[in-house]
Amino acid sequence: MLYLVGLGLADETDITVKGLEIVRKAERVYLEAYTSILLVDKDKLEAFYGRDVSMADREAVESFSDGILAGADKVDVAFLVVGDPFCATTHTDLVLRARTLNIPTKTIPNASILSAIGATGLQLYNFGQTVSMVFFTDTWKPSSFYDRIAENRRIGLHTLVLLDIKVKEQSLENLARGRRVFEPPRYMTVAQCARQMLEIESSRREGVYGQDSLAVGVARIGAGDQKLVAGTLTQLCEADLGPPLQSLVLLGRRTHDLEREFMAEFAVDLQVFNEVWARDYEGKQ
């Protein structure tokens, strides 16, 4: 059996009891290490699980999955995923490959950012499409996320923005020269995301959001030191939420007073927050 085991969002103790039992009896254990990260080192996982854990980077999963699947029709293999296993399409592809080899699969769900974002106080059934924000370069500033946010905004829904992480990435020069030299890991911050969003708005000029649009930044959600900050995009451009991982939510106009009351607790500037809410969000649909 190939088991896809969700690990939750924060540390080694977030795994479910069912997932832990599977990990402890599996013949081999892999940790997917590129779509997200846990907030603890692999050593802590191994100590808690009582098992050796092999790291599986993007290349191993997408190009050399045969090694992960080898023998999984005869023994149990555990593939560990931060959050919930099916929050990344890569893992759907792994299951499809297993099926072609007649390897049975089973999924052990866990908390993901898609559900944990409810910690902001925003009601989950008022979220629209989730989008991703990548690191811009001098020559590459993709804006496809803007169109998805515009669709959400037209029907008043909130937008969860997932922020880019770069783990075991090669520079264009090293890639072109075939050198397996990797860049240091990089994790986008809420401030970087807010600045890039305003940069795209200034070029698209379609009024989907602006400097005074309300948003919520979250960091290390589910951990003991999680941090939440609510304010305008301009304010969030200067917000320091500390270490990764971080995400951002743009507020839709379909809001409720309970959401405002909940978010007021972590507003950058409560007076500004209440003024913008009353002007642009209260009673709007």
pLDDT tens digits along 99-115: 999 999 999 999 999 99
What's the mean pLDDT when you consider all of the chain? 91
* Residue-level pLDDT at 69: 94
| Coil vs helix vs strand at 253 | coil
Q: Give residue 171's pLDDT band: very low, low, confident or very high (50, 70, 90).
A: low
Q: Give residue 234's pLDDT band: very low, low, confident or very high (50, 70, 90).
A: very high
Per-residue pLDDT tens for 115-152? 999 999 999 999 999 999 999 999 999 999 999 999 99
Which of 75-79, 115-119, 173-177 shows the lowest mean pLDDT across its residues? 173-177
Q: Judge residue 221's burial from the number of C-beta atoms within 10 Å of its C-beta, 0-12 exposed, 13-18 middle, 19 or more buried.
A: buried
Entry pTM:
0.91
- Residues in the annotated binding site for S-adenosyl-L-methionine: 9, 84, 112-113, 163, 246
For residue 128, give the nearest of 176, 161, 105 by alpha carbon. Answer: 161
Higher pLDDT, 169 or 230: 230
Percent of the chain with pLDDT over 70: 93
Which of 81-90, 116-125, 245-254 shows the lowest mean pLDDT across its residues? 81-90
* Residue-level pLDDT at 136: 95
- How does strand 54-56 pair with strand 165-166? unpaired
Rounded Cα distance, 6 and 174, in Å: 34
